[in-house]
Amino acid sequence: MTMEDANAAIKDTIHDVHVILERHGSVSDASLAAVGERMKELAQRDDLEEVYQAAAARGERLFSEPEGLQLMLSHFPETTAVHTHGAWGVMVGYRGNERYRQWVREDDGSEPGHAKLHLVRDVEVKPGDVGWWFAPPNDIHQQLPEEGGSVELILMGNPPSPTRLYFDLDADTYTEATPAERHYPGR
Ligand SMILES: [Fe+2]
């Protein structure tokens, strides 16, 4: 297998994802589950790390459209904060295991800094397992990798926003910050 094979497989996947999204007509559990099933096929390749390294060296993702789909190989060295992305996303476990949690907003967003979250998914994600989160304001999740970290193939609906919301579940509050500032609270 060559890097060209991997990049061709990535382009095929993106093409099929567009077809799936058009067929479903909306971002929903059903459409994102179908996208995840298609991504699972790509996640079976054992050369994605190599493609990621080459893309990262150019400051790029595995694949990105100017305002559309973004495919990335994401590395989670430790438990993340509860955070948003400014985009919907679908993930497939690639290396390592993690616990994955997803929430939706229960409040109406009218009070700045306040957010009441409702947990809708709390699952184990092993290589080949699929998860997703919805479009804003329900693009809220957390990765809790096992010792040694985890790696996931992630597709987002649009480029992630430079600042994200970071939630305090005990206080029902959030703050807006850059990933560098808040993504890994353990640091
Ligand atoms: Fe995330």
Structure tokens at 147: 């010792």
Distances (CA, A) of 95 to 76, 86, 119, 161, 174: 10, 25, 25, 26, 30
What's the 141 CA to ligand 1 centre distance in angstroms?
A: 6
Q: What are the tens digits of pLDDT across the range 8-66? A: 999 999 999 999 999 999 999 999 999 999 999 999 999 999 999 999 999 999 999 99
What's the 154 CA to ligand 1 centre distance in angstroms?
A: 9
What's the 160 CA to ligand 1 centre distance in angstroms?
A: 9
Q: Residue 155 pLDDT > 80, yes or no?
A: yes
Q: How confident is the model at residue 72 (pLDDT cuts 50, 70, 90)?
A: very high
**What pLDDT, on the 0 to 100 scale, is given for residue 111?**
96
**What pLDDT, on the 0 to 100 scale, is given for residue 186?**
80
What's the 142 CA to ligand 1 centre distance in angstroms?
A: 6
Q: Report how far residue 51's alpha carbon sits from residue 47's, in angstroms, rounded to the nearest whole number.
A: 7
Q: What is the pTM of this model?
A: 0.93
Q: Residue 1 pLDDT > 70, yes or no?
A: no
What's the 57 CA to ligand 1 centre distance in angstroms?
A: 21
What's the 180 CA to ligand 1 centre distance in angstroms?
A: 13
Q: What is the rounded average pLDDT for all residues in the chain? A: 96
- The H helix count followed by the E strand count for the chain is 4, 11
What's the 87 CA to ligand 1 centre distance in angstroms?
A: 10
Q: How confident is the model at residue 175 (pLDDT cuts 50, 70, 90)?
A: very high
Structure tokens at 4: 């060209």
Q: How confident is the model at residue 71 (pLDDT cuts 50, 70, 90)?
A: very high
DSSP code of residue 114: B
What's the 9 CA to ligand 1 centre distance in angstroms?
A: 24
What's the 177 CA to ligand 1 centre distance in angstroms?
A: 14
Q: Report how far residue 137's alpha carbon sits from residue 108's, in angstroms, rounded to the nearest whole number.
A: 10
What's the 173 CA to ligand 1 centre distance in angstroms?
A: 18
What's the 131 CA to ligand 1 centre distance in angstroms?
A: 11
Residues 3-182: name the CATH superfamily.
Jelly Rolls (2.60.120.10)
Q: How confident is the model at residue 131 (pLDDT cuts 50, 70, 90)?
A: very high
What's the 138 CA to ligand 1 centre distance in angstroms?
A: 12
